Structure 1
Amino acid sequence: MIKKAENIIVGISIGDLNGIGSEVVLKTFEDSRMLELCTPVIFANVKTISFVRKSFESTAMLHGIDRLDQMVVGKINVLNVWREGFDINFGTNDETVGKYAIKSFVASTKALKEGLIDVLVTAPINKYNIQSEEFKFPGHTDYLDKELEGNALMLMVQDDLRVGLLTDHIPVNEVAKHLTESLITQKIDTIKKTLIQDFSINKPKIAVLGLNPHAGDGGVIGKEEEEILKPTIKKIFDKGTLVFGPFPADGFFGSNQYEKYDAILATYHDQGLIPFKTLSFGKGVNYTAGLNKIRTSPDHGTAYEIAGKNMADFNSFKEAVYLAIDVFHSRNQYESISRNPMKIREKQEEKKY
């Protein structure tokens, strides 16, 4: 059954309540047109979110529920994940607030896993104050990789610009030893699959960036390109995947080469994120590719420095909601076509004319 747009259930983990997450969530859904696109469910507590709403004089109307079967289409539903109250002090790092951020995230992930929500959009957390005996993960992606089927890959998306990461939250001095043929092959396979099923690109072209300056300059400035990246890329290309590189990262973005590819695979976090955030104009989205469920998030953090000041730009969060819905539709269409060979032939015939 194809869902009507407004019936797509978007679960939202509230993130760090001392940051800007709750502000961008409420600002996104103040626009009633958003409720024609989906039914949001915020995993938190209605009294807590009402406090935030009043502090910003938000016009968002909340509907508190105790069970997901009580959600109402056309309303901003808030599922009561906890009952007790606690202090919210915008702009401060607080372990108690971090604990509730994880309560929201774990509950929303469970609902996603069980199919009670269709997609998950996560507001920003503080990676420091979430750590505990029960939660020992660097962030959202690592936990989702453990809980959901597949191999998680961080893919930053803004329109046709898509930047994935070979390695993400590891120290720079450990990147080289993580670059193995197995990892590179896995990440390229994941990007190819997500471009086909989630972005409806039939023959995706993927670029891989080099690790070293000038992509190693033929081995003069590092051996990783010659010894690992080039042979692995060639092996994958020879099997039919349109993958190219490794390219020197600076010239690749500076000369607009990135526009020729459907996705770019960076070797480490800042190599991919710095150009992406520069080019995405505050509308970038972090998409967790490679999993059997759909999760997106804005491309920014808690922004304590502006939290509580009604200054947060909500465009990245809104784009995260849009992308989650788009991927939901694309994946459903892909699965429907895959189950029906006649539809594949029909689409091939359409392309001839």
Structure 2
Amino acid sequence: MGKNEKIIVGISIGDYNGIGSEVILKTFQDSRMLEFCTPVVFASVKLMSFFKKEYDMEINFHGIDKIEDVIHKKINVLNVWKEPIEVNFGKEEAKAGEFAITSLKASVEALKNDKIDVLVTAPINKSNVQSKSFSFPGHTDYLAKELGGNSLMFMISEELKIGLLTDHVAVKDVPGTITRELIEKKINTINKTLIEDFGIIKPKIAVLGINPHTGDNGVIGDEDDTVLRPTIENIRNNGKIVLGPYAADSFFGSGNYKSFDAVVASYHDQGLIPFKTLAFGQGVNYTAGLSKIRTSPDHGTAYEIAGKNQANESSFKEAVFAAIQIYKNREEYQLYAQNPLKVTAKKEYSKKNF
């Protein structure tokens, strides 16, 4: 990235029958966004022009066929296909899933090769994207394979950050999936991302129990006592501030989460229900633990309102801002790691959180 150039934000189009196109256009219809970044939408000019007309928006695109032709202060649309597409808002179609993955693969390839700086993904439908060439539960698993590292679904907002021990795992399989090794790996990833990506020097992390009331001394399951507690104690003995397990039912209602920099939930709904209740519309899904930065909004395709010009772009816009800030925080952390004297002590290299 040149000295006077903006961070290049790659954007995968997601399911074009959903609201992804609408929140992308609404986000960048505000020309001030181009002061923060240079967007590149991986789709086709024809498709984006259709959406522009459909939503009656005053917005201009710069169509390109090669990523090297990106122009800063423009909304770039990289043609990753040129064939015409029939959009059927609100419909789950195999073709829409196919093109969503075409966009995703092209954008991830650009990310791997440093042609874009960060990636923001519009929502896909986990059902219609399945094929012989793509058999992943969602973005996170695919990105982990392509980019390497210890991937973690990390839901972030200004007031709340929640990481998951298990994400797209059936509830019946959760206890057997949570091992000491998994707990240590996920908590280490959260601790690392809080330091390097969010500028929190000494993170304080809470861990929620696996069973109701953290097992009630073995009455409602013994996993909290035999697996979770001893692992947390071991991590704490190694110098990290990790507390728990806490009973999940009262943890958020009591406001206890406000005392921590991040919360670790044992399974998907234990973490995402309170997160979406407290932060919906302002939250961001961040794939932590990877060498590259990917964010997405905290909602899905929303077929029920697709094409009706009713979608709220707030979460997508927050995902763009989060990706930009995390990129800057990582740069500053690397500068600090190389030469602490170059970063003033009063910043503790960066105190700006989301």
| TM-score bin, normalised by smaller chain | over 0.9
Normalising to structure 2: TM-score of the pair? 0.96
Unaligned runs of 5+ in 1: none
Partner of 1:212: 211
Aligned equivalents of 1:319, 1:335: Cα separation in 2: 24
Partner of 1:183: 182
Partner of 1:170: 169
Partner of 2:352: none
Normalising to structure 1: TM-score of the pair? 0.96
Partner of 2:239: 240
Shift in CA distance, 307/349, structure 1 to aligned 2, threshold 3 Å? closer
Shift in CA distance, 330/129, structure 1 to aligned 2, threshold 3 Å? same
Q: How much does 1:106 deviate? A: 0.3
Partner of 1:17: 16
Q: Deviations over 1:145-181 (max 9, x none)?
A: 0011311100001113100000000100000000100
Partner of 1:339: 338
Aligned equivalents of 2:21, 2:215: Cα separation in 1: 44
Identical-residue share of aligned pairs (%): 60
Aligned equivalents of 1:33, 1:69: Cα separation in 2: 23
Partner of 1:40: 39
Q: Deviations over 1:209-262 (max 9, x none)?
A: 001111111111110100000000000000000000000011111100000000
Aligned equivalents of 1:350, 1:62: Cα separation in 2: 40
Shift in CA distance, 23/282, structure 1 to aligned 2, threshold 3 Å? same
Aligned equivalents of 2:341, 2:347: Cα separation in 1: 11
Q: How much does 1:2 deviate? A: 7.6
Q: Given that residues 27 and 60 in structure 1 are in contact (C-alpha distance below 8 angstroms), is that contact kept between their aligned partners in structure 2?
A: no
Unaligned runs of 5+ in 2: 350-354
State how 1:254-293 maps to structure 2 within 5 Å: 254-293=253-292
Deviates more, 1:81-90 or 1:225-234: 81-90
Q: How much does 1:58 deviate? A: 1.4
Aligned equivalents of 1:3, 1:124: Cα separation in 2: 32
Q: Secondary structure at the match of 2:103?
A: helix
Partner of 2:160: 161
Aligned equivalents of 1:149, 1:173: Cα separation in 2: 28
Shift in CA distance, 254/307, structure 1 to aligned 2, threshold 3 Å? same
Q: Given that residues 14 and 43 in structure 1 are in contact (C-alpha distance below 8 angstroms), is that contact kept between their aligned partners in structure 2?
A: yes
RMSD of the TM alignment (CA)? 1.4
Aligned equivalents of 1:32, 1:170: Cα separation in 2: 41
Aligned equivalents of 1:350, 1:155: Cα separation in 2: 23
Aligned equivalents of 2:114, 2:153: Cα separation in 1: 22
Q: Given that residues 285 and 297 in structure 1 are in contact (C-alpha distance below 8 angstroms), is that contact kept between their aligned partners in structure 2?
A: yes
